[in-house]
Amino acid sequence: MEDEIEKHGGYGNTTTVTPHHVYNEDVQIVDEHERKDLVRGLKQRHVQMIAIAGAIGTGLFLGLGSSIATAGPLGSLLGYLFVGAIVCAVQYALAEVTALFPVTGSFVRHSEILVDPGLAFAVGWNVVYGAFMSVPSEVSAAVVLIQYWNESVNPAVWVTVLLILSVLVAVIFVGVYGEVEFFFALLKILLVIGVIILGLVIDLGGVPGKPRLGFHYWNSPGPFVEYIADGSWGRFLGFWAVLSSAVYSFSGVESLAMAAAETKNPRQNIPKACKRVFARLTIFYLLAILIVGMLVSSKDDRLNDESGTATQSPFVIAASDAGIKAIPSIVNAVVLTSAWSASNQSILAGTRTLYGLAIKGHAPKIFLRTTPYGIPYMCVALQVAFSFLSYMCVSSNALTVFWWFVDLTAAGVLISWMAIALNHIRLMQALKKQGISPDELPWHNSLTPYGSWFALVSCAILLLTGGFAVFTKGNWDPSSFVSSYLDIPLVLVVYLGYKFIRRTKFVPLEDVPVRQAIEEAQNDPENVPIKARGWQRLNILWG
């Protein structure tokens, strides 16, 4: 079997495939490279906080205002609630599959085993490209935030400083990366809690000389905003337009499983992280958007500010109106850490996905080289090379071209979520085909089979309608069209091209190595249920 798999590049490729009930114990789900070369340096608290750090950022601190302006307070709340339900389904599907296949590259490698090597190739390189382009975009955003305080220093200086720091974090032991992201996530959570409490105080009239607001702005100008059209249709379009912003805000939660092979006890820790991260993020976002809708009118022109700094934050607008002057700098500082944190997370997602592609022969073997501390340094080196695009922010013309590159993968997060849902659906179908009960899986939830179909269909609809505004009269915009749709044909061309060249086929359900993976999980000495002890029972963040 090992020779056959090596010959065809992985499970589910062409010609002969060994039946699922007969397998060689030497061929393991977690590749030998991962077992020998990578180091399990990420703990449970790291994994959970990495996902929170990735999803709490500019979308929450700066982007909620534009959502309120587009859909109104209730329209925005419903939009984020709907996307939150999709994220819940995606997270549970990811948890269930990762617990069975805890491999580097997460859902990209899962597609290789469960769906089609061609899909793994296309989605994998889409993730790599998106992550590689995200680093310079986040660094550019961080430079804008720094210039909120000081515009006299050449932007190239800040770019250099941020890149050096990012590279240091990327090449040091993965546990150091975990600690850095843990600290940043803690800062963000404290700020979210702080601004929510501050918002309640302002809303309830706790600031001297300021009246109690309550739900005043829900009454006037109203809970919904008409977008493009009039009447009920316009209010619905406002709600629908917010969904794209909500997807962007939640993007990053899927990356918590990218380094599964570098996580301690991944079969237990990653499902726990997926469940808890979804709940905490949804609560944070729903509370934040509820408070923002109570504090700022949807007609406030300041919500459409596109400065990229704290001045466009609805929390800052509310605090300024209440006469609280320290909030803008505090928000700007934490959003700055958010931008750099997102850069670090993109490095993790990009390098680990590239490493996973190299394991399966979808990328050159040179990317399998690691340091003695388990860091795939050649993957990091390629990522760093792309990071030098950050210097394009020094020139306004170059920056325009750069953002066109970034726009190419704006829809990538929906494609990734669709891949996660499809992987889980295929796993459920394989279990049924092979007569294996889902209860035998390392982790299973009875609602996941329905949730995955909901997520797959919802993400497909959002992907196809995300740029609907450009097709309405007088709203055509080339950059919006590119950011919404160009990634779809790119992924399809790569997928179909790989299938044509390599002649891959969908993995037959009876040949998915489910029984082998279950037995590996049962024999995994690290796969032991995690029990909270002492004060950990009171820890609502990562315990």
Using H for helix, E for strand and C for coil, what is the string for 345-410? Answer: HHHHHHHHHHHHHHHCCCCCHHHHCCCCCCCCHHHHHHHHHHHHHHHHHHCHHHHHHHHHHHHCCC
Residue 229: how many CB atoms within 10 A of its CB?
Answer: 13
Is residue 17 included in any domain, yes or no? Answer: no
pLDDT tens-place string over residues 457-476 = 999 999 999 899 999 988 99
Domain membership flag for residue 33: no
pLDDT interval class at 540 (50, 70, 90):
low
pLDDT, residue 81, reads 94
Say whether pLDDT at 377 is over 70.
yes
In the structure encoding, which two tokens stand for residue 472, read together? Answer: 């309405």
Which residues have a Cβ under 8 Å from the Cβ of 76 and sit 6 or more positions away?
A: 64, 67, 68, 70, 242, 289, 293
Mean local confidence (pLDDT), 258-264: 77
Answer whether residue 91 is part of any domain.
yes
Q: Which residue has the tokens 């997460």?
A: 106
Determine the average pLDDT of the residues in 209-218.
Answer: 88
pLDDT over 80 (residue 213): yes
The two structure tokens encoding residue 106: 């997460």
Tokens 């090597």 belong to residue: 117
Confidence of residue 273 (pLDDT cuts 50, 70, 90): confident
pLDDT band at 9 (very low <50, low <70, confident <90, very high): very low
- Residue 123 sits in a domain whose CATH number is 1.20.1740.10
* Residue 15: pLDDT band with limits 50, 70, 90: very low
Q: State the chain's mean pLDDT as an integer.
A: 84
Q: Is 18 a domain residue?
A: no
Give residue 14's pLDDT.
Answer: 36
> pLDDT-based confidence at 12, cuts 50/70/90?
very low
Q: How far is Cα 162 from Cα 390, in angstroms, rounded to an integer?
A: 10
Q: Is residue 534 part of a domain?
A: no
In sequence order, the 6+-apart residues with CB closer than 8 A to the CB of 470 are: 476, 477, 480, 481, 484
Q: And the tokens for 394?
A: 């020094």
* 9 occurs within a structural domain: no
Taking only the tens place, the pLDDT of each residue in 121-166 is 999 999 999 888 888 888 888 888 888 888 788 889 999 999 998 8
DSSP one-letter string for 79-120: HHHHHHHHHHHHHHHHHHHHHH---BTTHHHHHHHHT-HHHH
Q: Is residue 332's pLDDT more than 50?
A: yes
Is 75 within a domain? yes
Give pLDDT tens digits for 23-70. Answer: 444 446 777 767 777 777 777 777 777 777 667 777 777 778 889 999
pLDDT at residue 495 greater than cutoff 90: yes
Q: What gap in Å lies between CA 284 and CA 369, rounded to an integer? A: 40
Angstrom distance (rounded) from CA 536 to CA 543: 5
The answer to whether residue 395 is domain-embedded is yes
- What is the residue range of 94's domain? 39-505
For the ranges 21-30, 69-78, 235-244, the lowest mean pLDDT is seen at 21-30
Specify the pLDDT at position 364: 94
pLDDT more than 70, % of the chain: 89
242-276 core/surface letters (b: 16 or more CB in 10 A; e: else): bbbbbbbbbbbbbbbbbbbbbbbbbbbbbbbbbbb
Looking at the structure of the chain, the number of domains it has is: 1
More confident call, 25 vs 199: 199
What amino acid is encoded at 388 in this protein? F
Residue with tokens 């909120």: 148
Looking at residue 19, the DSSP 8-state letter turns out to be -
Q: 404 or 108, which is more confident? A: 108
Confidence grade of residue 227 (pLDDT, cut at 50, 70, 90): very high
